[in-house]
Structures are given as C-alpha cells and as structure tokens.
Structure 1
Amino acid sequence: MTSEKILIVDDETDILELISLYLMKEGFEVVTCQEGDQVLDMLAQHQPDLLILDVLLPGMDGIEVCRSIRKISHIPILFISCKSDDLDVILGLGVGGDDYIPKPFSPSQLVARVKAHLRRHSMIEPNQTQPDVLIFDGLEIHLSSHSVIVQQEEVNLSSKEFDLLVLLASHPKKVFKIDQLYEEIWGSDSLGDTRTLMVHISNLRKKIETDPANPVYIITIRGVGYKFNA
C-alpha cells in the first residue's frame, strides 16, 4: 500500500468525494480543499506529494494558485477543469501545471495519471553515466541543480519542461515520436491527447530559443515528432 498523500482542490463536493474515494481505494492518503485562498496553507500543513487542482475556484482561481506554488515548490500539479479549450490548456500548463484533464473524466483514468506522475517524479535522479552539465552553443543544462542557462542568463523552467529538455538534449539528432515523448516524460499513455506535450514544447521554445517560430534547438519532424539539434 502507498503512503503518498494527495491534495485535491475543487469547489464541487461531489467531485471531491468521488476522486477521494477512488484514490483512497488505491491506498493514497487524501486531503481536500474547496477554496483557492487556502491551498498554500494546506501545502505547508500537509506536505502532499501531488496536487489535483481545479481551474475554476472561489477566491484565488487555479491558475493563480499554480503561479504561487511554482515560486516555492516543484510538486506535480494535475489540472482538472470543465474548460477544455486549447487556450485554457495552454494557460494552465504555461503557468507550471504538469498535466491537464478535462471534465468529465474517468476516475480510473485520473488515478492512473496520478500514479504515473508520482512514479515519474520519484524516478528523477542524476544519471551517473551522464555528465552533470550538457553544453551546446548558447545553452547550458545543469542536471544536478536543475538549472538552464541561455546566452549566459538563467531561465526558469517547470519540472516537466526541464525533463523534456534533458531527454531531448541527451540524445542529439534522435527523433522522438510524440507518443514516445509523452510516455517517457509523463510515465503513461497519452490516451490520444497530445496537447499537453505540444504546449510544453511551445513553452520550452519560448524560453530557450531566440526565435521560437524558427527554432534552432528543438526541431519538429513533421508527421513524426521532435529532435534536438546539437
């Protein structure tokens, strides 16, 4: 049985109870919250391993909650929302969310995503066979400190953006299929929804490329996937 703790934030009592029931059946410890203004205090008090966060909340909404959390923590954040437009997905992932599942969703699918994120998060350790710093023209990736330097200035990447960059940069010229990248970084099947990956690629390009519309490092292989150009 797992001892990992999940904080669920949603203003709908029925949703809280449903998700809690499924997670507790899998052995997770669950704490809940219904207002965005309370989340930071809940994080400090309960020290959860993962956060399930609704976008639409009374008081501080989920987007602002995520922004605040990312200033102090790299905890995996899984957004859930009845808003499933591409712009909403882009906004949620752009402020540091790790994944986005639109309502209505299958509770078993949500549990599977939670397990995958926790498993992937626990596996992130320095690779002893890999150098601690990956150096390219105008780009440095420092593995142990999780920092990235672009043109001698440090840029702030989310945990998933950093993992994605490390994976691609560790295999220069190798073409990764979209589903393959999703499985490697998120630890689960994409279930046909590739928006999460594509948003992270877009955000990553905005942070490390001089001209994101004409990328130098992360190249799209049309109809296949992506590769890192060293």
Structure 2
Amino acid sequence: MRGTTILVVEDEPILREILKDYFLNEGCRVLEAGDGHLALSLFQEQTVDLLVLDIMLPGLDGWSVCRRIRKNSDIPILMLTARADEDDTLLGFELGADDYVVKPYSPPILLARAKRLLESRSRASSAPRSGDELLAHGIHLHFPSRTVTVDGTAVDLTHTEFEILGLLMQNPGIAIAREQFITRIWGYEYDGDDRTLNTHIRNLRTKLGDKAGLISTVVRIGYKFGDGR
C-alpha cells in the first residue's frame, strides 16, 4: 500500500481520524472528506488509488457519490454501511462498489479489505498475459487501457466487473468456481455469502446487453463464458 493515495469519506471526525492513522501507518497518502460534495471535489482534483466511502453523508450521500464517480472511473471503491442491510449492500454493488464493510467494524479488518482491493488492482496490471487484448463474440477487452467494447460500442465497467470479465474470457468454456473468483479478485477466503459475486455478475450481464447470455451459470459451481450467442 505504500505510496498509494486513499480518499477517506466519513462524516464522523473520530472515525475518519482513526482510518487516516491506520492508512498513514501503512505509508499511504490520505485525503479526507466529511461530506459528499467535498469528496467529489477532491476526487476531481487529485489522483486517487482507492476510495473508502461511507453511505450516510450530509448533503450528498455515498450512493450518489459512487454513482457520479462511476460515470468516468473504475477506481476501487470500498463502501461503509451502518447496518447489515441486504438492500443497502445490493444497491452499493449495483452502483459500482467493489466491496463493503459493515459498521461497527474493526479498522484492521477494513485495512485488510483495502489492501486486497489494491493488491487485486496491482496483480491485474502486472500479471503476464498471452496478449494485451481479448476478442470473442463481439466483445473486445483491452488490458492496458482497461476498456471494453461490445460490437464496437464502449461499455463502462467497474474495476471488479472488468476483472470478472477478463477471467471468464481468458478461460472460455471452462467453469470458474466461485472460490476462484473470490481468491483472484478480492483475495480473501470465501465466506459463503454469494451476494457479492452474484450482484457483480448480474450487473456485468446487464452492461453486456445482447451478449449477456455468454456468461452462463454452472449450478453449484460458478460461471463460464462462451455458451451464449
């Protein structure tokens, strides 16, 4: 994590200071915002590697901030939710969040989640590949620019959606187990909660439009790419 820039968006000063100290101890540069409007301003003015974003914010809530940032950025987003509410979690994923932590949380656990998102991003950038791009069934995925087009039309994917699609397209016709997705993308051990992966897959299918059927569900295993038309 050393040398990375973290934007912490939390309206409670004590919690924000605690998170700041943890990230500073890891050698990170930390930007702070106590509301959604300031968060957007800082994001536009600075280069940010990871966004830690509370949902309940004054003025402009975390969902709105996430939605606006996702219009032109695939930066990893770790959301903070005040309760283990399934609707909150699913909405966050639908808007483009990559992971979430429920309050009250342990700062070391949040730090571990943040590290794994950054490590996933780093592995994705440095992993050896047979080529810089993949093309199948009209879907063109370009790794260096992290862009995707479907039949020539650009499709905006989040960091996690891009990684899922890349893993699937690199293994056409092969069933990828849920545990493999979790290990490869999030880096932490699968805990039995399917909502995270399922929601990202659903969002990815929606964005692929007519190509959604290319991602098929393999019952009791996971997903594979290439069966659709």
TM-score, normalisation: structure 1: 0.87
Match of 2:12 in 1: 12
| Cα pair distance change 1:25/1:194, threshold 3 Å | farther
For residues 163-182 of structure 1, the C-alpha deviation after alignment (integer angstroms, 9 at most, x for no partner) is 11011110012222212201
How far does residue 195 in structure 1 lie from its aligned partner after superposition?
2.0
How far does residue 194 in structure 1 lie from its aligned partner after superposition?
3.4
Identical-residue share of aligned pairs (%): 39
SS for the counterpart of 2:125 is coil
SS for the counterpart of 1:134 is strand
| Cα pair distance change 1:35/1:199, threshold 3 Å | same
CA distance in 2, matches of 1:94, 1:50: 18
| Cα pair distance change 1:207/1:190, threshold 3 Å | same
How far does residue 65 in structure 1 lie from its aligned partner after superposition?
0.8
| 2:29 paired with 1:32 | no
Q: Counterpart amino acid of 1:220?
A: T
Aligned Cα RMSD in Å?
Answer: 2.3
How far does residue 202 in structure 1 lie from its aligned partner after superposition?
0.7
Contact 1:8–1:16 (CA under 8 A) maintained in structure 2: yes
Contact 1:126–1:143 (CA under 8 A) maintained in structure 2: no
Contact 2:81–2:88 (CA under 8 A) maintained in structure 1: no
Contact 2:74–2:157 (CA under 8 A) maintained in structure 1: no
| 2:152 paired with 1:155 | no
Unaligned stretches of 5+ in structure 1?
Answer: none
How far does residue 84 in structure 1 lie from its aligned partner after superposition?
3.0
SS for the counterpart of 1:52 is strand
CA distance in 2, matches of 1:176, 1:88: 28
How far does residue 128 in structure 1 lie from its aligned partner after superposition?
5.8
Match of 1:228 in 2: 225
Contact 1:133–1:142 (CA under 8 A) maintained in structure 2: yes
CA distance in 2, matches of 1:210, 1:129: 27
How far does residue 74 in structure 1 lie from its aligned partner after superposition?
2.6
Q: Counterpart amino acid of 2:162?
A: F
Contact 2:75–2:158 (CA under 8 A) maintained in structure 1: no
CA distance in 1, matches of 2:149, 2:110: 35
| Cα pair distance change 1:8/1:227, threshold 3 Å | same
Runs of 4+ in 1 over 6 A off after TM superposition: none
Match of 2:171 in 1: 171
